[in-house]
Amino acid sequence: MRAMRLLSPAARTSVALLSVTLCSTLLADLVFGVLRDDVEVARHARKAIVENLAIQLAVPIQKGDRDTIKRTLLAMTARDGEIVSIGVRRASGDIYSQSGDHSRQWESGEASTANHIAATIYAGKALWGAVEVSFRPVMPSTSLGWATRPLVEILLVLTIGGFSIYFWHIHRALEQFDPTRTIPQRVRKALDTLSEGVMALDTAGRIVLANGAFRALHGDRGNLSGRRASEIPWLKEALQRPADDHPWNVAVRTGSTVAGELLEIAHGRDEPRKVKLTASPIADARGTVRGCLVSITDITELDRKNAALEQALIELEASRRRVAMQNEDLRQLANIDPLTGCMNRRAFFETAESLAASARAQGMPLACLMTDIDKFKAFNDTYGHAVGDQVLQQVARVLNAAMRPTDLLCRYGGEEFCILLPSLDATQATQVAERIRARVEAQAGPGIRSIPDLRITASFGVSGIEFGAASVAALMDQADQALYAAKEAGRNRVIRYDGDRRGRRQAATN
Which strands form 270-283's sheet, in the order they lie side by side?
Answer: 207-210, 197-202, 289-298, 270-283, 258-267
| Number of Cα atoms under 13 Å in the Cβ half of residue 10 | 16
Are the C-beta atoms of 94 and 53 separated by less than 8 Å?
no
Can you tell me the distance from the alpha carbon of 163 to that of 161, in angstroms, rounded to the nearest whole number? 6
Catalytic residues: 415
The pLDDT, as a whole number, for residue 501 is: 39
Q: Output the 3-class SS for 171-185.
A: HHHHHHCCHHHHCCH
Report the candidate in 231, 252, 236 with the shortest Cα–Cα distance to residue 294.
252
Q: Which one, of 453, 419, 455, 454, lies nearest residue 436 by Cα?
A: 419
Distance CA 339, CA 327 (A): 20
| In 336-375, alpha helices (H) | 345-362
**What are the pLDDT tens digits along the chain (510 aa)?**
555 555 667 777 777 777 887 787 777 766 766 666 667 777 888 888 888 888 888 888 888 888 888 888 888 888 888 888 888 888 887 888 888 878 787 865 556 787 888 888 887 778 888 888 888 887 776 665 555 566 666 777 777 887 788 777 776 666 555 554 445 566 667 777 777 888 888 888 888 888 888 877 776 666 777 788 888 888 888 888 898 889 999 999 999 998 888 888 876 666 788 888 999 998 888 888 889 999 888 888 888 888 889 888 999 998 888 888 877 767 666 788 889 989 998 889 888 988 888 898 899 999 999 999 999 999 999 999 999 999 999 999 999 999 999 999 999 988 999 999 999 999 999 999 999 999 999 999 999 988 988 999 999 999 999 998 889 999 999 999 999 999 999 999 999 998 753 334 334 333
Question: How far apart are the C-alpha atoms of 161 and 359, rounded to whole Å?
Answer: 108
